[in-house]
Amino acid sequence: MTDDNQRKQDNQAGGINPVAAAVTGAVVGAVAVGVAGATVLADNDNRKQVEKVIDEAKNNVEDIKANVGEKIAEGQEKVDAVVTAATDSTQNAVDDAR
């Protein structure tokens, strides 16, 4: 069963292709960001502030990377312990079955 709103939409011809609208929006957004970035970087004080923010971001990324590496190592140790326990348990069950 078709409702009235769907019939109205089906009967309307034309419109804007959603893909074309998305691409156009992305291009307009990129241009706006580029113009804003050029405007900000035109001033020497602003440029120094941006460089400072970028350097701080790099340091934060390095700290986060180190923390993630530690968490992965801890997780790997836990996985190894579980695998070892499961293997031992399985081997014990096999031995008991014999």
Report pLDDT digits (tens) over 20-38.
778 888 888 888 887 777 7
User: Distance (Å, rounded) from C-alpha 55 to C-alpha 63?
Assistant: 13
How confident is the model at residue 6, as a pLDDT?
A: 60
The reply to whether 80 falls in a domain is: yes
List, for residues 39-84, the tens digit of each pLDDT value.
777 777 777 887 888 888 888 888 888 888 888 888 888 888 888 8
The model carries a pTM of: 0.35
For the chain, what is the domain count? Answer: 1
User: Domain residues for 43?
Assistant: 18-97
User: Is a pLDDT exceeding 60 seen at residue 13?
Assistant: no
DSSP code string of 38-71: HHHHHSHHHHHHHHHHHHHHHHHHHHHHHHHHHH
The reply to whether 4 falls in a domain is: no
The reply to whether 54 falls in a domain is: yes
Q: Which amino acid is at 48?
A: K
